[in-house]
Amino acid sequence: MGWYVGKRLLQAIPLLLGIATVTFFIVHLAPGDPMDVYLDKRYRRDVDPQVIELLRKKYGLDQPLPVQYVKWIGNLARGDLGESFRYRRPVVSLLAERIPYTLQLTLLALLFDVLIGITLGIISAVKQYSTVDKTVTLGSLVIYSIPGFWLAVMLVLVFAVNLGWLPTSQARSLDYELLSTLGKILDRLWHLVLPVFVLGVASAAGTARYMRNQLLEVLSEEYVVAARARGLAETSVILKHALRNALIPIVTLYGLALPFLLGGAVLIEEVFAWPGMGLLAVEAIGGRDYPIILATSMMAAVLVVVGNLLADITYALVDPRISFDAKRST
Amino acid sequence: MMFGSIDRRKFMQLCAGSLALAVAACRRSKDRTSLDNTKVTVLYKGDERLLGPDYDSPPKFLMFLPLVAQNPQGENEGRLAQSWEHSEDYRKWTFHLRRDVRWHDGVPVTAHDVKFTMDLYMHPAVLWYRLAHAVTVLDEFTLTITSKRPVANWNWDVYYPKHLLSKLDPKKFYSWEFWTHPVGNGPYRYVRHVPKTMMELEANPDYYRGKPKIEHVVLKFGGSNPLAELLSGNVDVLTDVNRADIPKLAANPSFRVYYWMDYGWLDAIYWNHKHPLFSDARVRRALTLAINRRELAQVLNLPEDVPIFDVIFTARQFQRRALPDPLPYDPERAKRLLDEAGWRDQDEDGIRERAGVNAKFTAIVAASSVLERAAIYVQAQLRRVGIRMNVQSLEDAMVLDKLEDWGRGGEFDAAFSRFYNGKYYHVWFFGEQSRINYHNDKLLRLLQAAVNNMEPDAQDRIYSEATEILRDEVPLTFLFPQVETFVAHRRLRGLSSLFRADPLFNMEYLWLEDER
């Protein structure tokens, strides 16, 4: 397996380099000079031109684009993501502040997706054509069709503004520092309820539909009929025999779930003022903060590559018909 | 594999556990502020570095003092400085500092702190966008500042404690921990912060103008969903309120709406004079007459008394409302002027034409902005006088790029954008390389004279003279000054439009009324 992972990681290098190159040039070709956007072109007439020139020099913006590109790639290879134009701080330290928040959100949303989506899919398949199945199917379709931002705003309106049960925004309460350790944990969870729900519910709805179909297909297989004929309990038939096989294609879905959730998190972070990487990226795009745009884009690209790799590894682990040796021979 | 070991009981336990955790996590909000009579919570975009150099924003005045501040009459009023004088050309200023202002750790504020800060701003590793100055300390409480350009006021920069910062590395200026728990010299001092969540300040009992009446100010970070924060009682104050929300909030008896007008930024329609339609002053005047700007103000939820003008002006002229009457809304006169200029609808298709050229153009505007709504309104108004305007919505940076970039000028017919009402910008904008391709030597000479003469009376005179030219030639159509709106819970008292509208600038003057 180590050989396979190593090979895949090596293959990822040119892919990431390609993504980095395309992203760099697209970002730089977009209209708007970062200094102009930050200062506002009109206001900058009041700023000492020497200061602006020094700033441009400091950030290498006075260099031709190919030179900037070569420098950026060189720095990227060394793990130096540069300094934010907006915050004037190393991008690495800005990301280090933000990534934990985004990971909390996305990983919990993924967990929600797995637990709720798969559970509802199983129930729906087992109780096919029952009221439960019809409710889950209809509910999944409705939820899948609702735009995330609208759902977020509506839930805030109901649960935060009208009922006052949940917070409107942010990751912590204003009195967080005054809480006990348990209080702090509960406070963090309390703030996670709405954003995690909104981020995870649409994926869970999709997963439930997919899971239902997969399980129904597997349940009609001969080995499941044989298991039932042997007198095994229905729970055992479903959970031990049918579910494992039905999960195989689901695993591949989750390979791409993390970058997908990261994309969704951008919107959710904006609505809930969640101080994650997505919010930082949105601000950076508006402000032409190239180092942050490039760093967050590369993070997303790496997540896609890693997600795919994890999906392949898990696929092989779940499905005994697939082995890394077989992959090696190909 | 994973599910193979789960039986029904374990599965139910797992579900029950998740539910219990979710219920336990649901508790009533503790952020609700409306009953706390010692504290004001303000929603503000930013994080715990809000008072540092990352943000050049109003909250810094809660903790730090400028040399001077502007009073409601637009006059300089001392803060750190007790008195001051300046050279005739306004390049050299001498400040005599107050002797009773102390940093929050008890150390007196001296001229050395001001020099230290100004030198820091200009440090090659810092480069904090300030004009180059030479600062000389004459004694502990007196200093002179000499600038490359004339400076009219010193009300925006604040100063930092030399005794706490002089040993820190300027190369790490923007990363200093000081910015997350700053020691200031203003009406409020730092108490605590929760990362990415809030910063709490308390009234400074040693503040030289007396301890502020409001004991605690909490800056809640965020702002994506401000209305929800206000209506749920989590915050007392919203700054820079979305215009679409104003009618709802104004009708809510729990809140009061205040506004402030920034004469430094004016919404305007830029006409590119290279376009056949806009090369004629009569047409530009007709287009201005065809727009009902008073009604447009209502459409945009602007205050009823928002001024309408056709000229540029000084701060003092604005504060005294010494602005000439604007062109009225008069579509009939607009039609006559267009006829006179040769633009007539001869084929009766609803669009005027001249020499086979239709009177139509495209106006660029920032997408999802207030000006986009203005553009749609103007489009309908111009159609009534036979002018077809297409609206092209672009990203804000693209509008700015098309409008202002030296290398790509002229890439627009008309544009809805903000006009910076600053002297240096006026010279640039109406200068030889004017982006709207407008040239008037007399106007340019006047504006250049204004740059070199900082005396308020002389400036008013110069701008009054420029007014005549601008009213005659209408090089662009001005709409409104930028209006900032603030909403505060009714228990917060002492605010008023225009000059006491911003709670962050004026917190030391405010008080809370007990509603329990």
Closest chain B C-alpha to A321 CA, distance in angstroms: 15
What is the C-alpha radius of gyration for chain A, rounded to an integer number of angstroms?
24
Which chain A positions have a beta carbon within 8 Å of B179's beta carbon?
none
> Predicted confidence band at B9 (pLDDT cuts at 50, 70, 90)?
low
- On chain B, the residues whose CB falls within 8 A of the CB of A240 are 3-4
User: What pLDDT shows up at residue B329?
Assistant: 96
**pLDDT: which is higher, B410 or A161:** A161
| pLDDT at residue B25, rounded to an integer | 47
How close, in Å, is residue A275 to chain B by CA atoms? 6
Lowest mean pLDDT across A236-240, B130-134, B232-236: B130-134
B444 contacts B469 by C-beta, under 8 angstroms: no
The answer to whether the beta carbons of residues A84 and A291 sit under 8 Å apart is yes
> What is the arithmetic mean of pLDDT over A10-16?
88
* Residues from chain B contacting residue A173 (CB–CB below 8 Å): 29-31, 194, 197
The residue with tokens 């605010």 is B495
Q: Tell me how far apart the alpha carbons of residues B88 and A311 are, in angstroms, rounded to a whole number.
A: 74
Mutate to test the interface with A, among B14, B27, B224, B396 (most CBs of A within 10 A): B224
Which residues neighbour B350 within 8 Å (Cβ) at sequence distance 6 or greater?
B383, B386, B388
Residue A157 DSSP label: I
Q: Do A161 and B231 touch (CB under 8 A)?
A: yes
User: How does pLDDT run across B180-226, given as a tens digit for each residue?
Assistant: 999 999 999 999 998 888 999 999 999 999 999 999 999 999 867 88
Nearest to A289 by CA among A101, A65, A88: A88
User: Is the predicted pLDDT of residue A255 greater than 70, yes or no?
Assistant: yes
Closest chain B residue by Cα to residue A34: B397
Q: Which one of B8, B228, B395 has the shortest CB-CB distance to A156?
A: B228
Comparing B47 with B178, the larger pLDDT belongs to B178
Of A48, A93, A175, the CB nearest to B131: A48
- Tokens 């107050």 identify what position? B98
Verify whether the Cβ–Cβ distance A88 to B231 is below 8 Å: no
SS3 B265: strand
B3 with A51: Cβ contact below 8 A: no
| Higher pLDDT among residues B454 and B216, named by residue | B216
In B, which residues are within 8 Å of A55 by CB distance? 127
| Rounded-to-integer distance, Cα B186 and Cα B514, Å | 26
Taking a C-beta distance cutoff of 8 angstroms, is the pair B159, B143 a contact? no
**How many Å lie between the alpha carbon of B128 and the closest alpha carbon of chain A?**
8
CA gap A210, A117 in Å, rounded: 9
Confidence of residue B50 (pLDDT cuts 50, 70, 90): confident
Tell me if residue B215 falls in helix, strand or coil. coil
DSSP A61-121: TTS-HHHHHHHHHHHHHTT---B-TTT-SBHHHHHHHHHHHHHHHHHHHHHHIIIIIHHHH
CB B225 to CB A88 under 8 A?
A: no
Written as six digits, the tokens of A279 are 């919010």
Number of C-beta neighbours around residue A9 at 10 A: 12
Of B8, B129, B398, the CB nearest to A51: B129
Measuring CA to CA, how many Å separate B105 from each of B182, B214, B254? 11, 21, 38
Q: Which helix (H) or strand (E) holds B44?
A: strand B39-44
Q: Closest approach of chain B CAs to the CA of A54, in angstroms?
A: 8
pLDDT score for B6: 46
Instruction: Report CB contact under 8 Å: A170, B21.
Output: no
Alpha-carbon gap: B351 to the closest alpha carbon of chain A (Å): 34
Least confident of A115-124, A227-236, B326-335: A227-236
Using CA atoms of A257, A259, A263, A268 in order, give the dihedral in degrees to the nearest 10.
Answer: 60
Residue A180 is predicted with a pLDDT of 92
Q: Does A167 contact B25 at a Cβ distance shorter than 8 Å?
A: no
Q: Which residues are CB-contacts of B335 (< 8 A; sequence separation ≥ 6)?
A: B286, B385, B386
A94, pLDDT greater than 70: yes
Q: How far apart are the C-alpha atoms of A18 and A20, rounded to whole Å?
A: 5
**Is B397 in Cβ contact with A171 (below 8 Å)?**
no
ipTM given for this complex: 0.78
What one-character DSSP code corresponds to residue A287? T
Identify the three-state secondary structure at position B213: coil
Helical spans, DSSP H, in B67-165: 111-121, 162-165
How close, in Å, is residue A184 to chain B by CA atoms?
10
Tell me the CB-side half-sphere exposure of residue A204, using CA atoms within 13 A: 23
Judge whether B334 and B382 are in contact, CB under 8 Å: no
Best mutation target among A168, A189, A271, A315 (most B Cβ atoms within 10 Å) is A168
A92 has a pLDDT exceeding 70: yes
pLDDT, residue A38, reads 63
Query: Residues of B numbered 120-139 whose beta carbons fall under 8 angstroms of chain A's beta carbons: which are they?
Result: 124, 127, 129-132
* Contact residues on chain B for A193, CB-CB shorter than 8 A: 22, 25-26
pTM for this entry: 0.82
3-state secondary structure at position B389: strand
